[in-house]
Structure 1
Amino acid sequence: MQRLLNCLFVVVFSLPLAVNAQQASPQNTPVLELPDTADIRIIVDISGSMKANDPDNLRQPAVRLLARMLPEGASAGVWTFGQYVNMLVPHAEVTDGWRDQAVERSAQINSVALRTNLGEALRVASDRYLAGSEDLSNTDFILLTDGKVDISDSTSANEAEREEILGPLLEQLRTRGATIHTVALSEEADLALLETLAAETGGSYSLASSAEALTRAFLRALNTAVPQQQIPIEGDGFTVDDGVEEFTALIFRADEEPAATRELGLVSPDGEEATAGSTPGNMRWARETEYDLITVTDPAAGKWQINGELGEGSRVTVVSDLRMVVSPVPPTFTADEPVAIRVAFFEGEEKIDNADFLGVIDVRLTLTSDDGRSGTKTLSGDTPPEDGVYTDDIARLPDEGEYELDIVADGQTFSRSLNAVTRFVVPEGEGSTGAAAPVEPEPEAAPEPEPEPKTEPDPEPDSEPAVPEQVDADSGPIDISQVEEPAGDPVTDKEESGGLPLWIMATAGGLGVLVIAGAVFLIARRKKSGADEEAPMDEEPPLVVPEEQGVGEPEAEEDIPVAEPEPETDKEPEPEAEPEEEVAEDDIPIADVTVEEPEPESDDALPEDDDDEFGLEDFDLSEFDDLPDTDDEKGLLDEEDEPGDRKK
């Protein structure tokens, strides 16, 4: 009866769940088009606390880097704030003149202000007169601070201002379409406020662990706000195609390399080497403590070589009519809100869908975790897409955390790349239980099998279920169980997330279930009257067996699979007590047998779990030593196998 009712409930409730799943599966596919002109507004904290958190005033070269990296034709401005707000560089179109002015005035960035009037800085930088309208849908703010809201000596006044920022001011900026990217230069800053400003407006948040990390944090915010075309660096060089009008090489200093004695050279395809002290007429070379920035106009096509150490984050951006456009990558994503990857190529203002052009392009997507693990997938198939758009979705990953995303397109005569950073977030309660469970049963299971069989035969069934628990626990630390559990129980996940719409949609079905259940109960009662004789007959065997043999039967039945597979134990040795004691004396070899049995089971499970993990959106970011075994099935490529296998 209970099984019948359970089946009925499952069928009735699974129908609305399936409908909801089908309705929720279609995603808002991003439309690929050329981005609008960017509007970047940089806000820099100059409060007195910066003397300790930025003693070398690395904010100056960081601001100069942003000014030099901003694309031509964009709008930009720079503000500094303490107790008051000052427009350091007027908001205007980015030109060579604007860049020169920003570089010159960056020397005025200091640490002399008394307060931290963060809210007023946002109000001034978002004033409607700057753009002539209330619309900020194409405006990105890059905010740097190392402190908390501090407008007076009154704690209540500071708290009221903080609530004003997170309340009406944030709602106003969000309504106007603004995006705020926040950078904290100290853990003493109001991290919760900065994270909220970024999360509520769709921006990125970074905590620079030191002043030296400030430049990279600024660059990450700029790259999120204005993704720029890049040429991939391969080894110690990069290839420039005929369509490149200008390229800018940003070469970070290696950590172990002294800035004062650094030597760096750039060799053109003709073999001529340029340095910071010797540059040709079409090259501009800016040297800072943390980086070198080299801009070349009308570069020669071919292989350019870099002589010197390349630090992490080095890149080459290009200006070209041939552009690779990628859909925006969100700062964070979950399994319910996956990352939709869309890639297309544009020549001028027109999207390219020519099959002959697209047929020679290899498009690869690579994900790299913060601990260095990576996985690569080919987006281009045997035939190019008819609409010219390469698509893929990243729904979930084995572990939550930050991932670097690289999209590289190789067209034989040209190459383009894009770099972005995103974070995979697992909702609370999904990944926390899986990690703690396997730790506890492991130490408990080891001492249990030794003392239990020596004392009495009763604890033997307790030791036997401990063996499968060890198998489950062994699969936990591989992080495969954490992935399989949500994937294997879609019904429970959807029921929890479904909530109110599930009960509303299942109300009518529930009434029907009650009617069916009542009918089933009436039929069952009628059958009981005629089946009263059969019920005791079914109950007698379990009653007679324990009365005659007591506890011996369940012990002997469970001893068969665990201790000895011999059928002789089922007949005579079970009622005898002496052979049971002999079995207890031989517990040591029997325990060894039971330990050996789960080992092949766990070994068999491992490759299955690996296959499942490899199948997560065709990415495996846990162990990559086995990647060649799964390349054919899941489309993953090892670093050694990345060159165009598709073309072959």
Structure 2
Amino acid sequence: MRRLLNCLFVAFFSLPFAVSAQQAPVQTPPLELPENADIRIIVDISGSMKANDPDNLRQPAVRLLARMLPEGSSAGVWTFGQYVNMLVPHDEVTDGWREQAVDRSGQINSVALRTNLGEALRVASDRYLSGSDDLDNTDFILLTDGKVDIASDADANEKERENILGPLLEALNSRGATIHTVALSEEADLALLESLAAETGGSYSLAPSAEALTRAFLKALNTAVPQQQIPIEGDGFKVDEGVEEFTALIFRADEEPAATRELGLISPDGTEATSESVPDGMRWVRETEYDLITVTAPAAGQWQIDGELGEGSRVTVVSDLRMVVSPVPPTFTANEPIAVRVAFFEDDQKIDNADFLGVIDVRLTLTSDDGRSGTKTLSGEEVPEDGVYTDDIPRLPDEGEYELDIVADGQTFSRRFSAVTRFVLPEGEEAAVAAEPVEALPEPEPGPAPEPAPEPAPEPEVAEQPVADNGPIDITQVEEADPEPSAEPEESAGLPFWTIATAGGLGVLVIAGAVFLVVRRKKAESGEEPPVIVPDEPGESEPESDEEIPLAVAEPDPEPEPEPEPEEEVTEEEIPVADATVDEPEPEPEPEPESESEPEPGQEDDALPDEEEEDEFGLEDFDLSEFDDLPDTDEEKGLLDDEDEPDKGKSN
């Protein structure tokens, strides 16, 4: 016992140090302008694509990526089936490269016989493309709808799959590559694609249909190369004088027919442009799923969109004034929270001027995949000295995918950043969170003191409230309300829970001991301990009481019991019972509690009529076994009936 106490003592006092080490702030590198990206697009052209992409929507999806890639980055496009083909050479992204990519996208088809996914990754990651082994700034966007298929031999295919997840993935990971995977239909090898993305820190998307392919591609591109945006408010957006060029990507609304779609863009001076009438300085591209409008040297002011905007529509800008946000991981957990860092740059210099930053309102919004959202302000009354707005997202109410939006609104300009991330709760944490309330309830039930403990049921409600009541994620509550319950288990590492449980158990034992002593004392005073044996040997002591006992136990509901009770013993002892209903008669009933303690659960149900049970609030929450020591003899049973009635009145 002494050793156990010593171990508990050491564990208890060493816990704070372990907790402080676990909660130590993560050191983040200084926020700087990102380097030029290197994007390598790999597209499946196997024969199965005829069924999964009958309209060949891979072509407009690839064209969108080519047009949206920032100038100055590097990119290339590969197609693969049994063999791998470089569709668009890997080179710097310029207007010439974009034209070539748009033109050659028409060669994407569904004629290949097999799906040689591993060879496609090997070719696209060849060292000669970048001149080194370093792929730290390289992102692969891989689209496929099938499984590894290099031969008719199933063993050969399985061996190749293992090689992809083994040596090949290890080599790409060691070189710093990031792989974003897009599965077209559930027929693809989803486990393989998820592993490639998870192991390299990339994003994974499942496009259930070809119509969803463009948005899935755009999500992967936005994760690989976040671009400067200006927010769309209502049906318009504000362009500031620092914008050199903007590109409006307007997706078609789901219910809007592509053939008869009408869309217009109105400049600040009231001039409206359409796909049929494009003024100088504007390029308008119309695809089945979207319209892409690029305006060079746009007029500053409010621009309006005349038409319906589909989900995912956005306006990207090219400007010397840039809002830079720290990378957002595709997934995060409570143990690895998201560290949000926001700063503003003009050309290559970070802005820390208090006059400039003092008029900027920076807000963070999280939107769940079911449409719930919550917003938090990052900019406070005081301007950060280093010009960097900081905040952390430690956890969210529910697992799932969330869209993160950061909007900076100055008096003369606005910028927007968007990303998609997924909050994952490890299996161990899920079990702990679910187990705590369950374990906490049964322990308090046995004793009267624990009865308030069942009320901790609100704890799960606290986690649900921000989800349902506060639009899902009032971020202030996510960090303040949720962390509190979750912090306790983390800080205590389980000690508080079992220590509380132990304390509750000791309390129950203390109460039980006190009751036992009281019972023993009452027995000693009354001097009638032998009756305890009476229920076991009914014929020896009191036959009459024996007859009444079965009546009280077996027939409590029908009210014939009062008849035997008033016969002799009740009439003789009525007066003394009335004089000392609380003090003296109670000790005598002690013998019967032993026999009654077992059937009491059933007796409670039988003794109380249905109507009374319904009227008695919280009956199910109380253990009536606490009152076992009330009646023993027939007289005392009569007292039970009398005392039960006032108790019911009290409960009511």
Q: Is the 8 A contact 1:30 1:327 kept in 2?
A: no
SS of residue matched to 1:180: strand
Q: Is the 8 A contact 1:435 1:477 kept in 2?
A: no
Alignment of 1:445-524 (within 5 A): 471-473=455-457, 476=460, 479-480=463-464, 486-493=486-493
How many residue pairs get matched?
A: 525
Q: Which runs of 5+ in 1 are unaligned?
A: 446-460, 497-535, 552-567, 600-648
With over 3 angstroms needed to count, the CA separation of the structure-2 counterparts of 1:358 and 1:477, relative to structure 1, is closer
Amino acid at match of 1:12: V
Q: Is the 8 A contact 1:344 1:388 kept in 2?
A: yes
Amino acid at match of 2:178: T
SS of residue matched to 2:112: coil
Q: Is the 8 A contact 1:486 1:493 kept in 2?
A: no
Q: Is the 8 A contact 2:141 2:180 kept in 1?
A: yes
With over 3 angstroms needed to count, the CA separation of the structure-2 counterparts of 1:388 and 1:491, relative to structure 1, is closer
Q: Distance in 2 between matches of 1:543 and 1:228?
A: 81
Alignment of 1:204-243 (within 5 A): 204-243=203-242
| Worse-superposed segment, 22-31 or 401-410 | 22-31
- Counterpart of 1:499? none
With over 3 angstroms needed to count, the CA separation of the structure-2 counterparts of 1:186 and 1:134, relative to structure 1, is same
Alignment of 1:267-278 (within 5 A): 267-278=266-277
Note if 1:383 corresponds to 2:371.
no
Q: Distance in 2 between matches of 1:74 and 1:166?
A: 29
SS of residue matched to 2:166: helix
Q: CA deviation at 1:430?
A: 2.5
SS of residue matched to 2:292: strand
Amino acid at match of 1:488: E
Deviation track 1:88-116 (CA, whole Å, cap 9, x = no partner) reads 00101111111111111101000000000
Q: Is the 8 A contact 1:364 1:409 kept in 2?
A: yes
Amino acid at match of 2:17: V
Q: Is the 8 A contact 1:367 1:374 kept in 2?
A: yes
Q: CA deviation at 1:259?
A: 0.4
SS of residue matched to 1:183: strand
Amino acid at match of 1:202: G
Q: CA deviation at 1:134?
A: 1.0
Q: Is the 8 A contact 1:251 1:293 kept in 2?
A: yes
Q: CA deviation at 1:23?
A: 2.9
Q: CA deviation at 1:133?
A: 1.1
Q: CA deviation at 1:159?
A: 1.0
- Counterpart of 2:328? 329
- Counterpart of 2:15? 17
With over 3 angstroms needed to count, the CA separation of the structure-2 counterparts of 1:572 and 1:544, relative to structure 1, is closer
| Worse-superposed segment, 541-550 or 248-257 | 541-550
Q: Distance in 1 between matches of 2:410 and 2:55?
A: 44
Q: Distance in 1 between matches of 2:140 and 2:294?
A: 26
With over 3 angstroms needed to count, the CA separation of the structure-2 counterparts of 1:317 and 1:545, relative to structure 1, is farther
Q: CA deviation at 1:550?
A: 7.7
Deviation track 1:174-227 (CA, whole Å, cap 9, x = no partner) reads 111110000000211111111111111110000111111100000000000000
Alignment of 1:166-245 (within 5 A): 166-245=165-244
Q: Is the 8 A contact 2:179 2:201 kept in 1?
A: yes
Q: Distance in 2 between matches of 1:278 and 1:318?
A: 23
SS of residue matched to 1:170: helix
Q: What is the TM-score normalised by the length of structure 1?
A: 0.75
With over 3 angstroms needed to count, the CA separation of the structure-2 counterparts of 1:384 and 1:173, relative to structure 1, is same
Q: Is the 8 A contact 1:438 1:474 kept in 2?
A: no
Q: CA deviation at 1:488?
A: 2.4
Q: CA deviation at 1:18?
A: 2.3
Question: Which structure has the greater CA radius of gyration?
Answer: 2
Deviation track 1:340-375 (CA, whole Å, cap 9, x = no partner) reads 000000000000000000000010001111111111
Q: Distance in 1 between matches of 2:301 and 2:419?
A: 26
Deviation track 1:43-77 (CA, whole Å, cap 9, x = no partner) reads 00000000111111110000000000000011000
Q: Is the 8 A contact 1:398 1:483 kept in 2?
A: no
Note if 1:143 corresponds to 2:142.
yes
Q: Report the RMSD for the aligned CA atoms in angstroms.
A: 3.5
Q: Is the 8 A contact 2:49 2:110 kept in 1?
A: yes
Q: CA deviation at 1:121?
A: 0.3
Amino acid at match of 1:212: E
Q: What is the TM-score normalised by the length of structure 2?
A: 0.74
Note if 1:595 corresponds to 2:618.
yes
Deviation track 1:580-604 (CA, whole Å, cap 9, x = no partner) reads 99994467446534339989xxxxx
Q: CA deviation at 1:397?
A: 1.1
SS of residue matched to 1:189: coil
With over 3 angstroms needed to count, the CA separation of the structure-2 counterparts of 1:589 and 1:97, relative to structure 1, is same
Q: Distance in 2 between matches of 1:379 and 1:195?
A: 33
Q: Distance in 2 between matches of 1:312 and 1:538?
A: 68
Alignment of 1:37-436 (within 5 A): 37-432=36-431
Deviation track 1:311-367 (CA, whole Å, cap 9, x = no partner) reads 000000000000000000000001110000000000000000000000000100011
| Worse-superposed segment, 16-25 or 42-51 | 16-25
Q: Distance in 2 between matches of 1:251 and 1:441?
A: 53
Q: Is the 8 A contact 1:365 1:377 kept in 2?
A: yes
Q: CA deviation at 1:495?
A: 8.4
Q: Is the 8 A contact 2:79 2:86 kept in 1?
A: yes
Q: Is the 8 A contact 1:17 1:494 kept in 2?
A: no
Q: Distance in 1 between matches of 2:118 and 2:523?
A: 78
With over 3 angstroms needed to count, the CA separation of the structure-2 counterparts of 1:267 and 1:571, relative to structure 1, is farther
Q: Is the 8 A contact 1:438 1:477 kept in 2?
A: no
| Worse-superposed segment, 12-21 or 133-142 | 12-21
With over 3 angstroms needed to count, the CA separation of the structure-2 counterparts of 1:191 and 1:584, relative to structure 1, is same
Amino acid at match of 2:487: A
Q: Distance in 2 between matches of 1:314 and 1:475?
A: 39
Q: Is the 8 A contact 2:519 2:587 kept in 1?
A: no
With over 3 angstroms needed to count, the CA separation of the structure-2 counterparts of 1:594 and 1:322, relative to structure 1, is same
SS of residue matched to 2:309: coil
Q: Distance in 1 between matches of 2:130 and 2:157?
A: 30
Q: Is the 8 A contact 2:33 2:324 kept in 1?
A: yes
With over 3 angstroms needed to count, the CA separation of the structure-2 counterparts of 1:10 and 1:74, relative to structure 1, is same
Q: Is the 8 A contact 2:45 2:111 kept in 1?
A: yes
SS of residue matched to 1:431: helix
Deviation track 1:514-541 (CA, whole Å, cap 9, x = no partner) reads xxxxxxxxxxxxxxxxxxxxxx999855
Q: CA deviation at 1:468?
A: 5.7
Q: Distance in 1 between matches of 2:611 and 2:20?
A: 56
Q: Distance in 1 between matches of 2:449 and 2:206?
A: 48
SS of residue matched to 1:222: helix
Q: CA deviation at 1:479?
A: 3.8
| Worse-superposed segment, 152-161 or 425-434 | 425-434
Alignment of 1:19-34 (within 5 A): 19-24=17-22, 25-34=24-33
Amino acid at match of 1:199: A
Deviation track 1:272-297 (CA, whole Å, cap 9, x = no partner) reads 00000111110000000100000000
Q: Is the 8 A contact 1:14 1:491 kept in 2?
A: no
Q: Distance in 2 between matches of 1:467 and 1:114?
A: 69
Q: CA deviation at 1:473?
A: 4.7
Q: Distance in 1 between matches of 2:14 and 2:93?
A: 54
Amino acid at match of 1:414: F
Amino acid at match of 2:489: D
Q: CA deviation at 1:571?
A: 4.4
| Worse-superposed segment, 178-187 or 463-472 | 463-472
Amino acid at match of 1:273: E
SS of residue matched to 2:220: helix
Q: CA deviation at 1:476?
A: 3.5
Q: CA deviation at 1:26?
A: 2.3
Amino acid at match of 1:33: E
